């Protein structure tokens, strides 16, 4: 495949909740209205140790994942329950934010357009924080207020080729030869080293 020259756009965003009791992910659920995803790398850079007036040793940097924001047109009520731990009171019909909510870990899957076709990403260990609340009066022309989910993305261990490795994210670009594998990326969460059929039952500690 030719090298991609650019990528743009964001769509087809989903999430799957991590269940620590069964060490599995739940089903992929749609997270509509994606506007932008902005992530910065976390961790230390590589460093050099000097001796005898030269580089004596080089120490690899650490991969601390990412942190940033997922901007959405609006965060759905279901996503607020699933990702932020909000609760719905059946008696009053009111959805509440509480002070002792424990947002779960989840995987985030999304899609970008490239100069070649489309590219999908999966981030395996995400946690979301509360979004800010903004609203503005309506003027002569619509000025849409969006909502952002602050994200902290770490790593998760999977058994890959018989060895436990820590994975932060994976991606696949659609081509003429991998259309089925690309489609499977949005049917159930793809686990490193596992086929699409067994992805949901993959274990990790």
Domain ranges of the chain: 29-174
- Secondary structure class of 196 (helix, strand, coil): helix
pLDDT at 199: 43
Place of tokens 């067994």: 198
- Secondary structure class of 19 (helix, strand, coil): strand
Tokens of 189: 């969460």
**Strands 169-173, 163-167: pairing kind:** unpaired
pLDDT digits (tens), the chain, 205 positions: 557 677 778 999 999 999 999 999 999 999 999 999 999 988 766 667 777 766 776 666 677 889 999 999 999 999 999 999 999 999 999 999 999 999 999 999 999 988 778 999 999 999 999 988 877 777 777 778 899 999 999 999 999 988 999 999 999 999 889 999 999 999 999 999 875 444 444 433 3
pLDDT at 46: 64
Strands (E), 78-137: 87-88, 95-96, 106-114, 118-128
pLDDT at 44: 66
pTM above 0.75, yes or no: yes
pLDDT at 55: 72
Q: Residue 15 class from Cβ within 10 Å (0-12 exposed, 13-18 middle, 19+ buried)?
A: buried
């Amino acid at each position: 495949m030719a090298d991609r020259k650019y990528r743009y756009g964001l769509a087809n965003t989903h999430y799957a909740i991590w269940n620590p009791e069964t060490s599995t992910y739940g089903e992929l659920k749609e997270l509509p209205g994606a506007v932008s995803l902005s992530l910065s790398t976390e961790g230390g850079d590589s460093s050099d140790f000097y001796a005898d007036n030269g580089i004596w040793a080089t120490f690899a940097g650490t991969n601390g994942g990412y942190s940033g924001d997922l901007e959405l047109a609006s965060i759905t009520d279901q996503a607020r329950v699933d990702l932020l731990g909000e609760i719905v009171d059946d008696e009053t019909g009111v959805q509440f934010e509480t002070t002792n909510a424990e947002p779960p870990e989840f995987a985030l899957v999304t899609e970008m357009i490239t100069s070649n076709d489309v590219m999908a990403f999966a981030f395996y260990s995400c946690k979301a924080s509360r979004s800010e609340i903004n609203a503005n009066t309506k003027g002569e022309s619509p000025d849409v207020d969006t909502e952002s989910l602050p994200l902290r993305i770490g790593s998760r261990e999977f058994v890959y080729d018989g060895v436990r490795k820590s994975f932060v994210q994976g991606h696949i670009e659609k081509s003429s030869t991998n259309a089925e594998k690309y489609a499977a990326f949005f049917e159930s969460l793809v686990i490193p080293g596992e086929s699409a059929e067994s992805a949901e039952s993959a274990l990790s500690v």
